[in-house]
Structure 1
Amino acid sequence: MSKPALQRARVLAQIAFFALFALTPVFDLFRYDLIAGHAWFLTFPWHLGIDELIAGTGHPLAAAGNIVLFLFLPVLGTLALIILVAWKWGRLYCGWLCPHFSVVETINRLMLFATGKHSLWDKKTTPPWEPDGTPAPRDKRYWFAVVPAAIAFAFAWALVGLTYLMPPSQVYSGLLNGSLTRGEVIFLTAATTVLSLEFLFARHLFCRYACAIGLFQSFAWMGNKKAMVVGFERERLSDCANCLNGHGSACDAVCPMRLKPRNVKRWMFACTQCGQCVSACATVNREHPQGQLLRWVSNDAARRNEARFSALSQTDEDAGAR
């Protein structure tokens, strides 16, 4: 699969998972109903089996067993699967599926058009070219798209989040008919406000420092020296440092997490394995005889790459110190 095709596949995966995220409560695939007082899973009521204990007719040991069987084991099993995938391949969930990260990338793109930067906190603007050499749009009028997009995504998230707690038919009909309850209005207003601010000002900060799922994936990935990582041919550094017409590197410019993909693994802690840096490098070097400098590597190749990279980095540091 070519790199552009890989990115198209990733976008399709993000769209499909966002749709799944929105439709899961509608079809009772998974949600907790505050009205009914129990969860739904794959269209079936999901009880913890403690109703008898609450009614005073059940045994405590039976109730404890039900909690372990119907709550702890499913939750721990899901987390274990996520961690296992991350241990081998990194934060694939974040880069390929996470509905929050797809919003991050969308707003990043719009803000890039409006300001030349992915985030308000970036110190420098990115080069005014795409990796294929075409001019990148730069127009302050895109702010009229950035802010509405952030608010729209925030409202969508708040609305979908509410359907995970209240009957979706009640929420959507109430929205269409203007008959939402006072509690629902308060929830939607508060959640939309908080998420709008987060989408506008703290997208990357949340992904890097506040998302528990992302952090646990990163810790698992860092613990495996053979895990899939972006490999870099540091010996060809002179081909790389200013690949965009002398205005910086394409891989740095496209990273949605604002990382420097040519760094050692420990400085790539928050990498989401989206592969945009790899795609950009392939595009920029499409006519270079030696090809791209960035590639995904894993297993022994990943360990050798990291060892060689660390050794060369230390040599550069020592030379700089002298």
Structure 2
Amino acid sequence: MKYSYWLHKRRWLQAAFFTLFILAPPLDIVRLDLNLGHFIFMGQNWTLGIDRFLAGEASASEAALNIFLRAFLPLATIVATGFWVAWKYGRLYCGWLCPHYSVVEMINSLMRRSLARFSLWDRTPLSPINPDGRRIESSRWYWIPLLFASSGFAFLWAVVLLTYLLPPAEIYHNLLHAELTHNQFIFICVATLALFIEFMFARHLFCRFACAVGFFQSLVWMANKKALVVALDRERVVDCAACDAACEQACPMRLKPRAIKRKMFTCTECGRCLEACEQVQAGGHGNAGKIQTPLLQWLSDECARDVSERDFGQRPDVPSDCFKREAE
């Protein structure tokens, strides 16, 4: 399996979804219009359909049916779909689509170039040599693009979030002509400041515990012992000795991918650790003198139990060919 190929696809998906996130309100794909008091979906007004009932022109049963079809059913479908994806694949939305996570990875990259770390709170600097052999030296000059990127994305997010609540044409017109209302100005300023602080100082903490969507996915994923996991081929663990923990240095969430599932609670299935291991085992920096398949691989079903149940002295009985099957 070529993890580099899948990560290339992942970056395209992230870019496409980030673009959709920005353009959805102006294109009336989906947004909540507080002025109108209801959602706009695919250019159409999405209401509860109880206006006729309030006007005395429809029965209570008709109003209840409208509420079920227009509110409960769509919401239940979204929740059920999210539950199924999280049950099977964990925080796949976070690692492959989430616009916030895309910004997290970008700021990680700039912070590494400025501080040799992914976070201001990391004590140990990262290795300057990538698993593929490329050398990345840190420089204080990268503080300039880091601050510009953090503040720029914070401002962009603040404006976009406001367009999900108020008519986008009004917001962008007022912004371009410096005619923002008092409330609009306050919202953008406060949101920009809050997001800047979060991007600079607490983006990993937010992804781990403050994001309700991500936390929900993690809880569902942990309940399924056969869900997709990053697993270590323990029979070849000696080949990790020459490596400088490339998988840990590649992880945007600052996790230890070789650990058991309980300690990987906030894994986003982004695959960065798998790509790093693949590059090392293909002859990259830290290779143990062998050209072989990566020690870290994605596993699911019965094979995933080796990671999800390996805890408190337990050694689950899993198929012996799990890693061979994945490598073919």
Same fold flag (TM > 0.5): yes
User: How far apart, in 2, do the equivalents of 1:62 and 1:189 lie?
Assistant: 44
Correspondence for 2:8: 8
Deviation at 1:216, TM superposition (A): 1.1
Tell me how far 1:173 sits from its aligned partner. Answer: 1.3
Rounded to whole Å, the distance in 2 between the matches of 1:187 and 1:57 is 40
Aligned residues: 310
TM-score normalised by structure 2 residue count: 0.89
- Summarize deviations over 1:172-214 as a string: whole Å, max 9, x none: 1111111222211111111111111111111010110011111
Counterpart residue number, 1:274? 270
Displacement after TM superposition at 1:42 (Å): 1.1
Q: Is the 8 A contact 1:32 1:40 kept in 2?
A: yes
Question: Structure 1 residue 102 and structure 2 residue 98: aligned?
Answer: no
RMSD: 2.0
Deviation by residue 1:106-150 (Cα, 9 ceiling, x = unmatched): 001100111111011112111111111221131111111111111
Equivalent residue for 1:293, pick from 292, 295, 303: 295
1:305 Cα deviation (Å)? 5.0
Deviation digits for residues 67-98 of structure 1 (CA, Å, limit 9, x no counterpart): 33211221121011011011111111000000
Q: How does 1:148-187 map to 2 (within 5 A)?
A: 148-187=148-187
How far 1:234 moved relative to its partner?
A: 2.1
Displacement after TM superposition at 1:311 (Å): 4.9
Partners of 1:165 and 1:80 in 2: CA distance: 25
Following the alignment from structure 2 to structure 1, what is the Cα–Cα distance between the partners of residues 157 and 221?
28
Cα gap change, 1:130 to 1:313, in 2 (>3 Å): farther
What is the match of residue 320 of structure 1? none
Q: TM-score, normalised by structure 1?
A: 0.91
Q: CA offset at residue 50 of structure 1?
A: 2.4
> How much has 1:35 moved relative to structure 2?
1.8
Q: Kindly state the Cα deviation for residue 65 of structure 1 after the two structures are TM-superposed.
A: 3.5
Q: Which runs of structure 2 are paired with 1:1-322 in the superposition (5 Å)?
A: 2-55=2-55, 59-243=59-243, 248-287=244-283, 288-307=290-309, 311=313
Tell me the distance in 1 between the aligned counterparts of 2:6 and 2:229: 16
Cα distance in 2, alignment partners of residues 172 and 275 from structure 1: 37
**What amino acid is aligned across from residue 299 of structure 1 in structure 2?**
D
Give the Cα–Cα distance (whole angstroms) in 2 for the partners of residues 273 and 95 of structure 1.
Answer: 6
2: distance between equivalents of 1:123 and 1:78? 40
Q: Which moved more, 1:280-289 or 1:45-54?
A: 45-54
CA distance in 2, matches of 1:54, 1:184: 32
The one-letter amino acid paired with 2:272 is Q
1:33–1:167 Cα contact (<8 Å) kept: yes
For 2:230, what is the secondary structure of its paired residue? Answer: strand
Q: State the SS of the aligned residue for 1:295.
A: strand
The residue type paired with residue 256 of structure 2 is K
**What is the one-letter code of the residue matched to 2:300?**
S
Check 1:206–1:277 CA distance in 2 against 1; reply closer, same or farther (3 A cut): same
Runs of at least 5 residues in structure 1 that lack an aligned partner in the other structure: 315-322
Alignment partners' CA distance in 2, 1:271 and 1:220: 13
* Aligned counterparts of 1:308 and 1:198: Cα–Cα separation in 2: 35
Map Cα deviations across residues 284-308 of structure 1 (whole Å, 9 max, x no partner): 1103243210011111121245456
- Identity across matched positions, percent: 49
Give structure 2 stretches of 5+ with no counterpart: 284-289, 317-328
Q: Is the alpha carbon distance of 1:103 and 1:313 closer, same or farther for their aligned partners in structure 2, counting shifts above 3 Å?
A: farther
